[in-house]
């Protein structure tokens, strides 16, 4: 009797682990395909918890003499759904396009099934322990399993197994639980039911093995459908999905499905990002680059002989490793990240600035667009105040700021936030062929906007090797025309850590024009 009770609790510990990881997998998939991580994680987890409550209510309709077999049925179904969640999602994105609907439907169904488990185990364990001990011990095991599941997903599942194979670990856990209960308790089941469950376990095993074998090509096909060109590299790191596509001699770099650069026109992005601020600096010896793991910005910085040290701070070691080793990026960045002047630090940029005692002449912020709260933190008032404190008296900063037309209010918010942090700002823009009209905001600690603009427009580049930017270009990138969309210039709030408005402005942009 004690063995049977412990077996049921062990099963619930395993399913608690599997259940929480299923929530995280679906939330990550929703973020990857639908964007807005805060919204997707909030809604997926909330919907699954609601569905679990509904599943708990529905479990009362299971009669007492069929509890064990119903629990095993639920585990078999869960093992299949949990294992194939990524395969189903990527297939939907490739063939049907209703990926959001599919993700949320799976969240509801998996939540319902998970919700049925705890009441069934409590009822199965009722004959072995009194109610007080039964409920507390069953819930305890489920919550302990959830903790282990979170640790597994954060440190093993996502960074090493990715969204391809982590779901199959979940499916295997549910399958093992079902088979373990079946084998241990088969003598208490009717012979006909034993034969039926044996057949089901064989079918589920075949499905799991087949899915494990064919998951990668199916998911890769679904991933290919998201891009116009052939994928030549992809990696799910601990922090993001990195994809490189290629056609003929050109390649594109994507992070979480969003283009970061194209070899066709990356100079039209990197040169305005780097050269105006480097030229305006009288003696740029110490340069800090936030992000920029592809190496394009560092390549341009190294064209200035005065530079003694470049500190590149990028959260993801997978990205900087790629910039140091991948043949396409090495060709593009001219092996810049392996230069002796470059120090690479894989850390959170905000935390790095808080802890650093170093001061810089130039800070270049080359981060992905602020489309999430997490990224918006690196475009916040608090972040820019830290930058201000780490710049020498004549120091300069420039940040990529998205599109001044597709997301004008987000662009203006970055400008406003930098001004609030103490910078005299100068917005810049350029037509990047594969990105459209793109923008940057430069910040100085002294002077006026008019003085900065005149200084920028007077810059010459005869002494620096560039492919696009020149003296004439400075007149173009420092000048803006009249307003096209009246609502774009409505007042914006300062983006702060405790009031993250920037990502909302960004997501509300006119991206349907892109």
389-394 long-range contacts, CB within 8 A, separation 24+ = 390/288, 390/353, 390/356, 390/358, 390/359, 390/360, 390/363, 391/359, 391/360, 391/361, 391/363, 391/445, 392/359, 392/360, 392/361, 393/445, 393/446, 394/281, 394/282, 394/361, 394/445, 394/446
Contact indicator for 366, 313 with CB cutoff of 8 Å: no
Q: Are 370 and 506 in contact (CB under 8 A)?
A: yes
- 312 has which bridge partners? 289, 344
Q: Write phi, then psi, for 441 (nearest 5 degrees).
A: -125, 125
> 420 near 502, Cβ under 8 Å?
no
Secondary structure (3-state) at 339? coil
Q: Which tokens is 479 given?
A: 């000048």
Catalytic residues: 366
Quote the strand ranges of 202-294, DSSP E. 230-236, 241-247, 250-255, 258-262, 286-291
Query: Which whole-number Å values give the CA distances from 505 to 175, 196, 376, 420, 442, in the listed order?
Result: 45, 57, 11, 18, 20
Q: How far is CA 361 from the centre of its chain?
A: 31
Which residue, among 396, 400, 380, 412, has the nearest Cα to 480 in the 3D structure? 412
**Alpha-carbon 495 to chain mean position:** 21
SS3 string, 476-505, reads HHCCCCCCCCHHHHCCCCCCECCECCHHHH
381 is written with which tokens? 């008032």
* Residues 416, 119: Cα–Cα separation, whole Å: 54
Taking the C-alpha atoms of residue 159 and residue 153, their distance in angstroms, rounded to an integer, is 8
Nearest 5 degrees, angle CA 307-CA 348-CA 319? 75
């Amino acid at each position: 009797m004690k063995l049977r009770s412990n077996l049921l609790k062990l099963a619930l510990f395993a399913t608690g682990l599997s259940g929480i990881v299923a929530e995280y997998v679906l939330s990550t998939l929703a973020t990857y395909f639908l964007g807005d991580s805060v919204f997707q994680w909030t809604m997926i987890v909330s919907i699954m918890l609601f569905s679990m409550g509904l599943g708990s209510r529905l479990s009362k309709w299971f009669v007492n003499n069929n509890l064990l077999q119903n629990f095993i049925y639920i585990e078999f179904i869960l093992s299949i759904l949990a294992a194939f969640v990524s395969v189903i999602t990527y297939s939907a994105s490739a063939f049907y396009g209703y990926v959001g609907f599919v993700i949320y439907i799976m969240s509801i169904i998996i939540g319902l099934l998970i919700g049925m488990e705890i009441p069934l185990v409590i009822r199965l364990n009722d004959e072995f322990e009194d109610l007080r001990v039964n409920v507390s011990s069953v819930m305890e095991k489920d919550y302990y399993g959830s903790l282990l599941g979170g640790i597994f997903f954060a440190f093993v599942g996502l960074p090493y197994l990715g969204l391809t194979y982590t779901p199959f670990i979940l499916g295997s856990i549910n399958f093992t639980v079902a088979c373990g209960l079946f084998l241990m308790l088969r003598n208490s089941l009717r012979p006909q039911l034993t034969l039926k469950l044996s057949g089901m376990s064989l079918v589920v095993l075949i499905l799991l093995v087949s899915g494990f074998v064919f998951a990668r090509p199916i998911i890769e096909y679904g991933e290919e459908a998201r891009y116009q060109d052939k994928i030549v590299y992809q990696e799910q790191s601990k922090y993001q999905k990195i994809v490189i596509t290629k056609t003929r001699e050109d390649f594109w770099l994507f992070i979480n499905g969003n283009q970061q650069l194209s070899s066709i026109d990356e100079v039209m992005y990197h040169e305005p990002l780097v050269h105006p601020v480097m030229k305006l600096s009288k003696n740029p010896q110490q340069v800090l680059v936030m992000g920029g793991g592809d190496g394009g910005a560092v390549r341009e910085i190294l064209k200035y002989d005065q530079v003694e040290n470049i500190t590149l701070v990028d959260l993801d070691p997978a990205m900087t490793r790629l910039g140091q080793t991948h043949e396409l990026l090495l060709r593009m960045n001219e092996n810049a990240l392996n230069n002796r002047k470059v120090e690479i630090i894989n850390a959170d940029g905000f935390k790095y600035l808080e802890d650093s005692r170093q001061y810089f002449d130039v800070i270049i912020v080359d981060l992905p667009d602020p489309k999430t709260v997490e990224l918006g933190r690196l475009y916040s008032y608090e972040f820019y105040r830290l930058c201000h404190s780490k710049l020498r008296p004549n120091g300069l900063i420039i940040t990529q700021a998205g599109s001044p037309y597709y997301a004008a209010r987000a662009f203006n918010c970055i400008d406003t936030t930098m001004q609030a942090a103490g910078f005299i700002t100068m917005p810049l823009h350029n037509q990047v062929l594969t990105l459209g009209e793109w923008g940057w905001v430069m910040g100085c600690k002294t002077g006026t906007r008019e003085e900065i603009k005149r200084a920028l427009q007077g810059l010459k580049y005869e002494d620096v090797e560039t492919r696009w930017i020149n003296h004439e270009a400075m007149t173009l990138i420092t000048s803006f025309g009249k307003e096209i969309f009246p609502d774009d210039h409505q007042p914006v709030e300062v983006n702060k850590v405790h009031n993250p408005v920037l990502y909302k402005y960004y997501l509300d942009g006119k991206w349907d024009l892109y």
